[in-house]
């Protein structure tokens, strides 16, 4: 069921972007490459290693979206011994955003809402400022958040 809800969410925001005019129809072609692998992995895992009461954090939270519309940053993600039960937070494109606490009592996940979100440190602020300017011109809904290293707390 969770896989189906994620499928609908993935397709719904893409359809909304195309209908609003800030995305082209080619965005819809990214649906299958991004979702099919995860759906197959969920189905396979449900037949064995993900059967209750086994943990499924890696399967549920560690799925990586890969398609032509996601720009890779060319860093390698850390591996796990068990990709079904172990989740390793990674802050790169295509991965679920990590959940560290910020110094103001909020989590990075509190920064996400109804827009795209870009998180950066002060060194990346200039590049993301340019991205935010481009987003405004094209109508892409984007919020940029600069997070000081001192604001992060260990999980």
DSSP state letters, 130-155? HHHHHHHHHT--EEEEE--GGG----
Structural domain count, the chain? 2
Centre a 10 Å sphere on the Cβ of residue 63 and count the other Cβ atoms it contains: 22
To which H or E segment does residue 103 belong? none
Higher-pLDDT residue of 152 and 31 is 31
pLDDT band of residue 126 (cuts 50, 70, 90) is confident
**Do 82 and 32 lie in a common domain?**
yes
- According to the model, what pLDDT value does residue 152 have? 57
**Cα torsion 10, 11, 16, 19: sign:** positive
Together in a domain, 29 and 83: yes
At residue 71, φ and ψ (nearest 5 deg) are: -85, 120
- Looking at residue 90, what is its pLDDT? 87
Q: Single out the residue of 127, 129, 52, 121 nearest to residue 84, CA to CA.
A: 52
Q: 32 is in which domain, residue-wise?
A: 1-88
78 shares a domain with 116: no
- Same domain for 78 and 113, yes or no, is no
Q: Are residues 111 and 80 in the same domain?
A: no
pLDDT at residue 48 in the model: 85
**Structure-block tokens of residue 11:** 């397709």
pLDDT of residue 154: 45
Q: Same structural domain for residues 26 and 75?
A: yes
pLDDT at residue 151, rounded to an integer: 56
Strand partners, 117: 143
- Once rounded to an integer, what is the mean pLDDT over residues 71-96? 87
pLDDT tens digits, residue range 127-139? Answer: 888 888 888 998 9
Residue where one domain finishes, among candidates 88, 113, 133: 88
In the prediction, which pLDDT does 150 show?
59
Among 71, 88, 105, the domain-final residue is 88
What mean pLDDT is predicted for residues 17-38? 94
- pTM of this prediction? 0.77
Question: Tens digit of pLDDT for each residue in 92-107?
Answer: 889 998 888 887 888 9
> Average pLDDT over the chain, rounded to whole?
87
Sign of CA dihedral 68, 20, 139, 90: negative
Q: Enumerate residues 6+ apart whose C-beta is below 8 A from 58.
A: 80, 82, 83, 84, 85, 86, 87, 88
């Amino acid at each position: 069921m969770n896989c189906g809800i994620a499928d609908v969410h993935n397709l719904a925001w893409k359809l909304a972007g195309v209908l609003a005019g800030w995305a082209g129809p080619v965005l819809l072609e990214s649906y299958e490459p991004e979702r099919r692998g995860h759906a197959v992995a969920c189905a396979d895992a449900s037949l064995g290693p993900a059967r209750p009461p086994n943990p499924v954090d890696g399967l549920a939270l560690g799925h990586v979206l890969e398609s032509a519309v996601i720009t890779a940053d060319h860093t390698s993600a850390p591996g796990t011994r068990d990709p079904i039960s172990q989740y390793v937070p990674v802050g790169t494109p295509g991965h679920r955003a990590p959940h560290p606490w910020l110094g103001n009592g909020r989590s990075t996940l509190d920064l996400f809402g109804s827009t795209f979100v870009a998180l950066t440190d002060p060194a990346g602020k200039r590049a993301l400022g340019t991205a935010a300017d481009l987003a405004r011109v094209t109508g892409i809904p984007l919020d940029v958040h600069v997070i000081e290293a001192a604001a992060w707390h260990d999980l």
